[in-house]
Amino acid sequence: MSPTVLLTGGSGFIAGWVLKFLLQKEYTVITTVRDQTKADFLKSLYPADSKLSFVIVPDIAAPKAFDEAIKLPGIDYIIHTASPFHFKVTDPVKDLLDPAMKGTLSVLTATKAYAPQVKQVVITSSFAAIIDASRGNRPGYLYSEKDVNPVTWEEAIGDNPATTYRASKTFAENSAWDFLKKERPNFTVTTINPPLVWGPMLHKVSAETINTSNASIWALINGSCKDVIPNARVPLWVDVRNVALAHVLAIEKPAAQNQRYFVSAGNFSNAKICDYLLKQFPELKGKVPTKLETPELTSDEIFGSDNSKSIKELGLEYISLEQSVYDLTKQLLEWL
């Protein structure tokens, strides 16, 4: 019998690809979604696949949110992707910190209590849990798995939504490593830490509901930039297909147990993306901005990423920026 994976947040952008790769590789998959409509949509993508089933988890921040799902018999692996990624924050704790932190701890505590057969929990963390924003551009520095964001709780609950989001990912990841040390469960933990993730979508979106990271490319082609190329929030990116595959490879490669992987394709600038867009889609002339907001930083003037561990241990082959931007934009122009 094929191994069974519990995937949390199957309706999300990254999870959509994790789900596709798991089913392609013939895993049995139980995925959590917030409501039946989302389950019905995912089922419609794989109508003949009897290896896919659903558990409704309306709010990952609720106490014992994952108990029902994790009590299901026969789960071998858990991939926990569900966590809010947006900057529409009115209450930092309720909107971002609680779901990220409580969601992760609910998965871990329920697994220890009810599913001693689970071998490994893979968690979608982030570059947000790596970067030290207080160090600024750090010319020449290469962030890697060794770096941990030193953000504090006071900073997390302040009025900068980007800091709150980064803190939510940092505290969630830190709590997983602490859990492992203190509770010594039967399972191992792996975290996948991507920077900004782009690429084609398998989940359902509209111009209003497009996921946060792809929205930054959508903004470059929908005319909303008014001819000014915005500065990027972070200069590192990766394609969604690489990120999703990393989650699946993490459960297949023994070397990945209790490891952290910085899954980054490298540096980008919005100016470079706009350049690609105008070459790939000449019909977008007039919509894609052409004037820089501030002079562009060269790669010597801003930090980069060391992705060698993900290449060596997971065997990732990174998709190029040009390809990723093309695949996403083609879909955005067809869909939205």
- The site for ligand NDP (CB under 6 A) is made up of 9, 11-15, 34, 38, 57, 59-61, 81-85, 99, 124, 126, 169, 194, 196-197, 211, 213
Residues 6+ apart with CB under 8 A from 236: 127, 143, 195, 196, 264, 265, 266, 267, 268, 304, 305
For the bound state, the minimum distance from the C-beta of residue 227 to ligand NDP, rounded and expressed in Å, comes to: 26
For the bound state, the minimum distance from the C-beta of residue 285 to ligand NDP, rounded and expressed in Å, comes to: 28
For the bound state, the minimum distance from the C-beta of residue 19 to ligand NDP, rounded and expressed in Å, comes to: 11
For the bound state, the minimum distance from the C-beta of residue 295 to ligand NDP, rounded and expressed in Å, comes to: 26
Q: Is the Cβ of residue 2 or residue 36 nearer to ligand NDP in the bound state?
A: 36
Q: Is the Cβ of residue 231 or residue 290 nearer to ligand NDP in the bound state?
A: 231
For the bound state, the minimum distance from the C-beta of residue 241 to ligand NDP, rounded and expressed in Å, comes to: 13
Q: Is the Cβ of residue 72 or residue 292 nearer to ligand NDP in the bound state?
A: 72
For the bound state, the minimum distance from the C-beta of residue 266 to ligand NDP, rounded and expressed in Å, comes to: 15
Q: Is the Cβ–Cβ distance between 163 and 133 less than 8 Å?
A: yes
For the bound state, the minimum distance from the C-beta of residue 100 to ligand NDP, rounded and expressed in Å, comes to: 7
DSSP H or E segment with residue 216: helix 212-221
Q: Give Cα separations from 250 to 75, 231, 313, 322 (angstroms).
A: 16, 33, 9, 26
DSSP secondary structure string for all residues of 157-208: TSS-HHHHHHHHHHHHHHHHHHHHHHH--SSEEEEEE-SEEE----S---TT
By Cβ distance, which residue is nearest to ligand NDP? 12
Q: Cα–Cα distance between 98 and 324 in angstroms, integer? A: 32
Q: Is the Cβ of residue 76 or residue 95 nearer to ligand NDP in the bound state?
A: 95
Q: Is the Cβ of residue 246 or residue 290 nearer to ligand NDP in the bound state?
A: 246
Q: Is the Cβ of residue 4 or residue 11 nearer to ligand NDP in the bound state?
A: 11
DSSP secondary structure string for all residues of 52-109: EEEEE-S-TTSTTTTHHHHTSTT--EEEE---------SSHIIIIIHHHHHHHHHHHH
Q: Cα–Cα distance between 202 and 222 in angstroms, integer? A: 21
Q: Give Cα separations from 80 to 111, 183, 246, 327 (angstroms).
A: 12, 19, 13, 26
Q: Is the Cβ of residue 290 or residue 323 nearer to ligand NDP in the bound state?
A: 323
